[in-house]
Structures are given as C-alpha cells and as structure tokens.
C-alpha cells in the first residue's frame, strides 16, 4: 500500500511514515492532505509535516506460544516507545523517553520490521493490529474474522470490512451500539491547531493528558 500511495496519490496527498518522514513518531503510516494543518499537543513541537490524515494500521501475524507472545508484545512496546521518543510525556515515561534515545532510532525500526517478517500475516491463525491504539489483547483476533470481507456503507461509499464485523467491533470497543454519556463524548486527540484547505486557523486549549501511549 505504501508503494501504491507514493506512486498514485497525486499532488494533493502524501504517504507519511517513519520511512518517508524524518522525526515521524509512529510505527504506523498515514495518508495526509498536503494543503492542511492539524497539530496535536503531544507532537506539535516535532519538525515534520502535520496535516489532516487517515491512520493506516497494518495487520501482522500474532505469535502462538506464550513466551513468543510475551516477546512480541515487549518488542512492540519497546520499538513504539523508541520511535515515539519525541512525543511529550510526563513523570517516569518522560525520563524513560530520554534514556531510550541512547539507542539508535533506525535500530529499533529494523527490529520492528524483522519481527513482522517472523510472523507474516499470510501464515498466521491470529492477526494483530501491531501498532493500534487499543493494546495487544484487544487487537488480537482470529484470522477468519476478516475472511473474504463484508460490504459496508459509509458516507455514500461501499467499502469492505471484516466478515465477522460484530465480533471485531465488540472485542475492540465493547458495547459499541450504546452511545457513551454526553460527558464522555469529547475528542481524545487534543487538537491545538487546525487549518483546512488553506483556511483560517483554530486553536484549542489542551484537555487530554500529555501521555498518549497506548496500553
């Protein structure tokens, strides 16, 4: 997908990842719109293009044995922490972020990519959204939940989602059909600056905690 995006997106959009963008702090990639600005408080200080985006979370194979699962989980956490060392944090995590910068960033990326080759999605019975925001357990699902895919309608478009979409949504979000109370419906993205299509900017106060590290 990265190769297709780089070749076919055109001038208005770009593929953004740790391979294409210096100081990019995530293990997953994004499709961004180039003529926009969208900054989140924990990463606003980092010198890389921050624009309106769609996150692209890859699926990898999950390990099978308990010790391999533990090793895979620890590897993901370490590599994620090192690549995102520039994200604002508080307390102990801030100190740890400084310490891990002693390890070369490219080394952590190499370890992460090697791990994905050890557990290819094509051969795994369990799939893992390796870099997703909801944690290792919630984002480990049986391969057959994706299956051949099921058609879904979203804002006038017909798209393909998991075959067992109810199972997937229920495991990831819990009771996803019941709206949360009004007081819990605010965004957790902590946007401090936004500019759409070259328009005016809107600044918002910080309301979320600085540390956005997933569990």
Per-residue pLDDT reduced to its tens digit, 124-145 = 999 999 898 898 999 999 999 9
Per-residue pLDDT reduced to its tens digit, 61-72 = 999 999 999 999
The whole-number average pLDDT for the span 100-112 is 95
Choice among 16-25, 59-68, 176-185 with the minimum mean pLDDT:
176-185
SS (H, E, C) 8-41: HCCCCEEEECCCCCCCCCCCCEEEEECCCEEEEC
Residue 97 CB coordination number (10 Å): 19
What is the pTM (predicted TM-score) of this model?
A: 0.86
């Amino acid at each position: 997908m990265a190769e297709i995006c780089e070749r076919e997106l055109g001038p208005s959009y770009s593929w953004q990842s740790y391979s294409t963008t210096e100081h990019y702090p995530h293990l997953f990639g994004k499709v961004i719109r180039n003529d926009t600005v969208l900054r989140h408080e924990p990463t606003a200080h980092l010198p890389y293009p921050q624009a309106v985006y769609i996150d692209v979370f890859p699926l990898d194979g999950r390990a099978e044995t308990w010790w391999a699962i533990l090793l895979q989980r620890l590897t993901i956490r370490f590599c994620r922490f090192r690549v995102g060392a520039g994200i604002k944090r508080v307390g102990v995590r801030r100190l740890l972020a400084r310490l891990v910068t002693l390890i070369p960033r490219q080394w952590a990326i190499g370890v992460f990519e090697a791990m994905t080759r050890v557990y290819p999605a094509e051969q795994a019975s369990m799939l893992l959204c390796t870099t997703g925001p909801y944690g290792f357990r919630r984002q480990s699902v049986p391969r057959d939940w994706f299956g051949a895919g099921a058609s879904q309608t979203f804002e006038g478009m017909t798209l393909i989602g998991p075959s067992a979409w109810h199972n997937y949504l229920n495991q990831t979000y819990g009771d996803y059909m019941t709206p949360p109370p009004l007081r819990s419906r605010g965004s957790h993205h902590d946007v401090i600056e936004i500019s759409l299509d070259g328009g005016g900017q809107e600044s918002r106060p910080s309301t979320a905690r600085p540390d956005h590290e997933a569990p």
